Structure formats: C-alpha cells, structure tokens
Amino acid sequence: MNEQQRASGKITTEAAPADKKSATGEKDYSKYFQRVYIAPSLKDAKRRGKEAVRYLKDFSIPDHLRGMGDGRKFYIRTYGCQMNEHDTEVMAGIFMELGYQPTEEPEDADVILLNTCAIRENAENRVFGELGHLKSLKREKPDLLLGVCGCMAQEESVVNKILEKHQHVDMIFGTHNIHRLPHILYEAYMSKEMVVEVWSKEGDIIENLPKARKGNIKAWVNIMYGCDKFCTYCIVPYTRGKERSRRPEDIIREVRELAAQGYKEITLLGQNVNAYGKDFTDIQYRFGDLMDDLRKIDIPRIRFTTSHPRDFDDHLIEVLAKRGNLVEHIHLPVQSGSNQILKIMARKYTREQYLELVRKIRAAIPDVSLTTDIIVGFPNETDEQFEETLSLYREVEFDSAYTFIYSPREGTPAARMKDNVPMEVKKERLERLNKLVSEISAKKMKEYEGKVVEVLVEGESKTNPDVLSGYTRKNKLVHFKGPKSAIGQLVKVKITEAKTWTLSGEMVEENVPVEVK
C-alpha cells in the first residue's frame, strides 16, 4: 500500500509488519496484530492520478502463513462478469498455495467468499439475500470465515450496510488488493472483529499471482484493468479504478504458456479492450498491435471482450480481418440508438458513427457476428428514443444482445437525474426489445441449417449426458451426439436443426470442409 492509497481510506489502526519479531526473538504475530480498517470512498475512486503504474512480480506467501489452509476448504461464489470470474481463479490460486482445498459445497467450506458485482441493483440484492442465508450456517459453524469481495466491496454504502446489518461477515476486501488475501485471512482468524480492507485507488499490477483456472480448454487473460470512460450510468470506473494496461510481453508470455499447456481458446479481458496501450508512455503499442502479435501464437482461437465503439480503430479492423486464430465475433455494446440518450450516457459516439463503424467492420469481415449490450429506460427516455434503439437493432441485425433495464447506481451522475419513466413502461420496452432480439437471432440461426461448422467441444450437455456441447468461432452453442474423446477438441458438426439460441447437429468426418464459421 502506498501513501496515496492510505490517504484515500479511513484507517483506524494499522497492521504490524508481518515479519516483525517479538521482544524475545520469537515470531509472535498475534502480539503485534491489530485490526486494519480501511473503507472505500467513491469520491477518491473517481480521481485519476498521473502516477505511473508499477509492474511487480513480488507476490509470495510469507513463511509464517504457509500451510495456513492445511486441512481446510474454501468455496467462492462469483456474481459478476468475466473479469470477476477471472479474479475468482486468482483467489482460488492463492487459497491453494496456502494449502486450502476447493469444495463445491458451501456447507463443507471453512472459508466462503462472495465475489460480488455492483453493476445493477438486482446483482446486489442477490448478494444481500445470500448473506442472510449464510447467517444460519455461520451460527452452526462459528469457525467458518465469511468474506465479501469484488465490486460491491468498493462501494461505501455497501460496506456501511454490512458493518451495520451483517455483523456475521468476517472480512471485506476490494478489487485492488486481491493479492493481500493471505494477510486478510490471517487477520480474520486472529481478530474477533470484522476485517475491512478496501483500497479506493487502484494499486500496482502484480504479474506473478497464482491462478487456479476453471477448466483446461478455455482460459481468460486480462490485458488491462479499470475503466476511464465514466459512462454516466456505470459504477465500473469507481469499482475498478483507472485504466492500466499489462505490458505486451507479459500478455504474450501468458498466452504462449496457455497454448503450450494445451488450451484451445483464449478470451482477452478488459472493460474496454480498445483502450489497451493508451496509458503506455514509453511505447506506441495498441490493441491492434497486440492482436497482430497474438495472432502468430499457435492456439486455435482468440476472443476479446469488451470493446467500446469509440476506440475501435482501423488498424484493429485490418488485423482482425486477417482471421486465423482471431475469431469472427465482436461484442460491441451500443447501449442506445438515440443520439440524445447516447449523449446523456456520455458514450461519446453518435448513432451514425456507430453505424459507420459497423459498416467498416463488415466491409473487412463480411460474415462477422456482432453482438451488443442495450439499456432501456434510461432516465427520461421517450417512446421515440426507444423506437430509435429498435430501429438501430433492426438495421444492424445483431446476432444477439444482452438487454437491461437501467438501474440507478449510487454515486454515478445518472443516479442524480430525475426520471419520469414508470417501471411498467421500462418493462414493456424490455419485452419489446427482447422479442426483436429473439426474432433476429432465430432468423440468423436458421441460416446454419444444413451447414458444417467447427465446434470446440467443452463437455457433456448440461441437460443430457449423451449429448456433447461446444461453441463455434462465432460463439453459437451447438449440441450433438459424439464420442467423449471429442471433449477438448475442435470437431466438424453438420447442423440439422436451429433453435432461437442454439444449434443441433451431427458430427462429420474431419476432412469435410467448414461451410460457415
């Protein structure tokens, strides 16, 4: 923790350095232990400093914490986006280095972590509901440690609410200090009080954190952290800090290692991957350059999420058009089709600019699959403005979309706007939009019937163990009968039936050419 981070939080007491020796020369940490209480501040989180990002490789488990988890089990529930899922993999990696074993059952766990999401109110309500349920488990097992981490932990109001109403929580920590997990656990074991350690400001980039990845077919790779876009409805720039890019050589090394380990697909992660490299002061190296370098690595598929339309440059389009392991799918959130709403959202592009970008992408990659995110019922959205969203959706013909009713987030500019749109109207708009999304998806899926696609087989179907499932390059879910030996492989499947969201088919010989991606 540096001075600036300290200044940004409220500190009542400070932990003693973990390796301090007692007066007798014995290592007695409990003697020196004091409770750390650092609360987040949204105001501090909003500030964007000029200080350079430090890239550290100094993560290690201190000697006295080694073996802390021997004979103990951990359980992490993840509520958020891919970034959160990947954070869970990092925390699982740290737990395992401490000697803990994973469990799928919260009842069997000695430590339970809720890795939370703050993006909409219902995501938060689910977490508070779960905290309520876990109260009885905690009563039955007083030694159980219960922690709240992730994006909600970065919100002052959430920390205050937990402090007031959920006293059975043992620890709260945020998104910037995951690497402190060993110390936070230690403090939670030693302390009778709730350990709160949330840094309002982002920290350094720590390169050598362990990761216990879920699965051995697909892997997440962070390329950057944070977001500087400050869309007026969004909490992410406050919960994830300023944009910081990982160094290209670290990303390339990680992808190479994953390829060598046999992974077949990589998803590059960032809140706005197109801003990658903007923060480098010593090199001119942007997302297009990174993709051009990753393209040369021997791994079948590379995806990325999420791209903001604003920074999507021509070089990137040129590189994506080279295809190879760069898949023909782009998730390009538009949020609204109305220029007035886009303006109040501070998206910093117009409907016309978005459509022009789509035109350019399609000119370079004619069969590209485009998906999007849309918010309906933004404060004071009129019927006409909503109709413009529908007309944009029809014009682009997205393959599919994630659609949301606007949810006010405390501390964001939009949350302070008066809103004259009743919830009933917002729900109707969402229904109408979803109907259009399904219609167009069904129509696009129909085009696959009779065609051969390439599927990366992930495993047995969730509903029928005789059926295997996997995704095409364009991220269409395909079910088909096939041998278990196909799991983890790229196989060819002829589509026999298209539903609205999924395809079914039969496996064909390896030498049959792929007809659609």
Residues near ligand F3S (CB under 6 A) are 80-81, 83-84, 117-119, 150-151, 235-236, 239-240
299-318 binders of ligand SAH (CB under 6 A)? 306, 308
* Contact yes or no for 144/137 (Cβ under 8 A): yes
3-state secondary structure of 135: helix
* Beta-carbon contacts of residue 279 (< 8 Å; ≥ 6 apart): 53, 243, 244, 245
β-pair partners for 508: 492
Q: Near ligand SAH by CB under 6 A, which window of 14-22, 25-33, 229-237, 494-502?
A: 229-237
Computed from CA positions of residues 80, 85, 86, 88, in that sequence, does the dihedral angle turn out positive or negative?
positive
**Residue 488 interacting with ligand SAH (CB under 6 A):** no
DSSP 265: E
Which residue type occupies 14? E
Strands 502-508 and 477-481: parallel
Residue 237: contacted member of ligand F3S, ligand SF4, ligand SAH, none (CB under 5 to 8 Å, by partner type): ligand SF4
* Contact yes or no for 191/169 (Cβ under 8 A): no
Nearest to 496 by CA among 487, 488, 508, 485: 508
Residue from 37, 100, 233, 480 in contact with ligand SAH (CB under 6 A)? 233
Q: Residue written as tokens 């109408």?
A: 432
338-397 binders of ligand SAH (CB under 6 A)? 373, 375
149 annotated ligand-binding residue? no
**Sites of contact with ligand SF4 (CB under 6 A):** 227, 229-231, 234, 236-237, 271-272, 308
Residue 120: contacted member of ligand SAH, ligand SF4, ligand F3S, none (CB under 5 to 8 Å, by partner type): ligand SAH
- CB-closest chain residue to ligand F3S: 80
Min CB(76)–ligand SAH separation in Å: 21
Residue 404: contacted member of ligand F3S, ligand SF4, ligand SAH, none (CB under 5 to 8 Å, by partner type): ligand SAH
How many residues bind ligand SAH (CB under 6 A)? The answer is 17
Q: Which residues of 222-253 are buried (b: 16+ CB within 10 A; e: fewer)?
A: bbbbbbebbbbbbbbbbbbbbbbbbbbebbbe
Q: Residue written as tokens 């992410």?
A: 236
User: How large is the C-alpha radius of gyration of the chain?
Assistant: 24
**What's the rounded Cα separation, in Å, for the pair 321 and 218?**
23
User: Which residue lies nearer to ligand SF4 by CB, 246 or 492?
Assistant: 246
Min CB(306)–ligand SF4 separation in Å: 7
Whether the ω angle into residue 24 lies within 30 degrees of 0, i.e. cis, is no
Residue from 4, 101, 407, 500 in contact with ligand SAH (CB under 6 A)? 407
Which residue type occupies 141? K
**Residue 36 interacting with ligand SAH (CB under 6 A):** no
Min CB(460)–ligand SF4 separation in Å: 34
Q: How many CB atoms lie within 10 A of CB 366?
A: 9
Min CB(513)–ligand SAH separation in Å: 35
User: Which residue lies nearer to ligand SF4 by CB, 171 or 234?
Assistant: 234
Q: Which two tokens stand for residue 509?
A: 């010989």
β-pair partners for 497: 504
Strands 224-225 and 101-102: unpaired
**Residue 272 interacting with ligand SAH (CB under 6 A):** yes
Binding annotation = 81, 117, 151, 227, 231, 234
Residues in the site for ligand SAH, rule: CB under 6 A?
119-120, 233-234, 236, 271-272, 306, 308, 333, 335, 373, 375, 404, 406-407, 409
For the annotated binding site for [4Fe-4S] cluster, the residues are 81, 117, 151, 227, 231, 234
